[in-house]
């Protein structure tokens, strides 16, 4: 390789050299030495040109006569569009594909995925190898996510979600009789054929039961029962989600659990939430989603001067605790007993009711 660019090759050649260099690196990484060598040769040739490649006519110069057909096409493309789509595609595909794959490990968000990418991880297999070599530290959720990656990457057929719901209903009934209501939420309630996980909302059926047991106690009892049955196999801390204890509330009114259950030989993700009866319509609406639907409904509420959450709805007064920290929406609450069903919430906001399967966006 000529170490220094020749005096005549200007910026345009420099950009071309960089693009062909990326192709060379890409094929080098793939172990495709034939293409690697071909692009390396093109890059050095461009680097040493005594003239600027400025038009298609320049490709007829003697120095460029020996270029292959594909390379010539890429040069024409560059002259016409200012870039080479193949290289743009590589950048997008390769890093987005890797970041997506890494985020497919439960407990890995974009920040972690980027950090691991920076350490050379491009795939789940890379993570396994880096970890074995001592180059990565995984938290407890990520370790479970990695161990069960193949199972948890599969979507769950609707039928199987129904069988998991029955399992939890049976445990609820065994422990609390009919006093505990169990509702499947999430993508299952929206009618999807397959689900990423199982989302279950638990709630006391009768108001007079409230206060006898806290939501945490109810949740602990159900989780203990299902764990004893060896149905629940792993508990997750669920740091991927907003921590309900960190919302600035003196005592959390609800409780949630993230875990893994086993159906046959397959591990499945399961989320349980317990809310008091007065919050039921709000929790049901929120836990049904979809996520984008929730965001747009909450934004709509905010524009009307209200703050909508999975606990209830209140007048929005936009303030920060002691002028710092996260924004709190702590206006006067709208009496929760006015809301018996999800439809009451739509009505309150002047929205027409949408069935769960109409809430994809
Ligand atoms: N949810 C939300 N905001 C979040 C996470 C969840 O509003 N950050 C709500 C909307 C979701 C519901 O909780 O629909 C369930 O969350 P899931 O992550 O289980 O998503 P889905 O059940 O909708 O889809 P999937 O089939 O992938 O589980
Ligand atoms: Mg779900
Ligand atoms: Mn879920």
Interface predicted TM-score of the whole assembly (ipTM), two decimals: 0.98
Nearest CA residue ID for atom 5, ligand 1: 291
Q: What is the pLDDT along the chain (361 residues), one digit of tens a residue?
A: 343 444 444 567 899 999 999 998 888 767 788 888 999 999 989 988 889 999 999 999 999 988 889 999 999 999 999 899 988 887 677 777 888 899 999 999 888 998 998 899 999 999 999 999 998 999 999 999 999 999 999 999 999 999 999 999 999 999 998 889 999 999 999 999 999 999 999 998 877 777 788 899 999 999 999 999 999 999 998 754 444 444 444 446 899 999 999 999 999 999 999 999 999 999 999 999 999 899 889 989 988 999 999 999 999 876 666 666 666 666 788 888 899 999 999 999 999 999 999 999 7
Q: What is the DSSP string of 75-127?
A: HHHHHHHSS-HHHHHHHHHHHHHHHHHHHTSTT--HHHHHHHHHTT--SHHHH
CA nearest neighbour of 255 among 308, 291, 307, 201: 201
User: What is the per-residue pLDDT for 245?
Assistant: 43
What residue ranges in 91-228 does DSSP mark as E strands? 156-157, 180-184, 194-195, 198-204
- Our separate counts of H helices and E strands in the chain read 14, 11
Q: Of all atoms in ligand 1, which is nearest to the CA of residue 197? A: 28
Question: How many other C-beta atoms are found inside a 10 Å radius of the C-beta of residue 31?
Answer: 7
Are the C-beta atoms of 92 and 33 separated by less than 8 Å?
no
| Pairing verdict, β 306-308 and 313-315 | antiparallel
| Residues facing 272 on adjacent strands | 200, 257
Q: Of all atoms in ligand 1, which is nearest to the CA of residue 271? A: 19
* Ligand 1 proximity of 336 Cβ (cutoff 6 Å): no
For residue 244, report the distance from its CA to the centre of ligand 1, in Å. Answer: 15
Are the C-beta atoms of 99 and 114 separated by less than 8 Å?
yes
* Ligand 1 proximity of 197 Cβ (cutoff 6 Å): yes
How many residues would you count in the chain? 361
* Ligand 1 proximity of 187 Cβ (cutoff 6 Å): yes
* Ligand 1 proximity of 310 Cβ (cutoff 6 Å): no
Q: Which ligand is nearest to the CA of 288?
A: 1
User: What is the per-residue pLDDT for 90?
Assistant: 79
Write out the H or E segment, with its range, that includes residue 129. helix 124-132
Q: Of all atoms in ligand 1, which is nearest to the CA of residue 294? A: 7
CA nearest neighbour of 47 among 72, 15, 87: 15
User: What is the per-residue pLDDT for 240?
Assistant: 45
For residue 288, report the distance from its CA to the centre of ligand 2, in Å. Answer: 8
What are 24's two structure tokens? 């060379």
How far from 238 is each of 29, 217, 244, 254, 266, CA to CA, in Å? Answer: 35, 19, 11, 15, 20
CA–CA separation, 298 and 42 (whole Å): 55
CA–CA separation, 171 and 166 (whole Å): 9
Beta-carbon contacts of 296 under 8 Å, excluding residues fewer than 6 positions away, are 361
For residue 121, report the distance from its CA to the centre of ligand 2, in Å. Answer: 28
User: What is the per-residue pLDDT for 328?
Assistant: 61
CA–CA separation, 126 and 98 (whole Å): 10
Nearest CA residue ID for atom 14, ligand 1: 289
Q: Is 74 a catalytic residue?
A: yes
Are the C-beta atoms of 280 and 203 separated by less than 8 Å?
yes
């Amino acid at each position: 390789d000529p170490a220094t660019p020749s005096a005549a090759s200007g910026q345009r050649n420099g950009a071309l050299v960089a693009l062909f260099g990326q192709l060379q690196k890409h094929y080098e990484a793939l172990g495709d030495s034939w293409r690697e060598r071909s692009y390396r040769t093109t890059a050095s040739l461009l680097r040493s040109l005594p003239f600027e490649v400025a038009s298609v006519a320049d490709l007829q110069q003697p120095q460029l006569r020996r270029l292959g057909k594909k390379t010539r096409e890429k040069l024409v493309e560059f002259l016409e569009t200012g870039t080479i789509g193949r290289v743009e595609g590589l950048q997008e595909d390769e890093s987005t594909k890797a970041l997506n794959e890494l985020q497919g490990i439960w407990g890995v968000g974009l920040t972690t995925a980027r950090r691991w990418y920076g350490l050379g991880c491009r795939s789940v297999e890379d993570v396994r190898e880096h970890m074995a070599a001592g180059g990565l530290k995984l938290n407890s959720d990520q370790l479970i996510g990695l161990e069960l990656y193949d199972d948890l990457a599969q979507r769950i057929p609707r039928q199987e979600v129904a069988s998991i719901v029955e399992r939890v209903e049976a445990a609820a009934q065994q422990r609390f009789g009919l006093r505990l209501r169990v509702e499947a939420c999430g993508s299952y309630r929206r009618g999807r054929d397959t689900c990423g996980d199982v989302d279950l909302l638990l709630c006391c059926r009768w108001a007079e039961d409230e206060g006898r047991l806290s939501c945490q106690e109810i949740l602990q009892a159900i989780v203990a029962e299902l764990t004893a049955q060896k149905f629940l196999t792993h508990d997750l801390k669920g740091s991927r989600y907003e921590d309900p204890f960190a919302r600035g509330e003196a005592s959390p009114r609800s409780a949630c659990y993230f875990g893994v259950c086993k159906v046959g030989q397959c591990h499945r993700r399961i989320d349980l939430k317990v809310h008091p009866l007065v919050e039921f319509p709000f929790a049901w609406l929120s836990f049904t989603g979809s996520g984008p639907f929730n965001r747009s409904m909450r934004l709509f509420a905010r524009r009307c001067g209200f703050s909508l959450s999975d606990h209830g709805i209140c007048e929005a007064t936009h303030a920060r605790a002691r002028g710092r920290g996260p924004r709190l929406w702590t206006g006067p609450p709208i009496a929760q007993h006015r809301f018996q069903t999800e439809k009451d919430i739509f009505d309150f906001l002047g929205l027409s009711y949408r069935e769960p399967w109409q809430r994809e966006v």
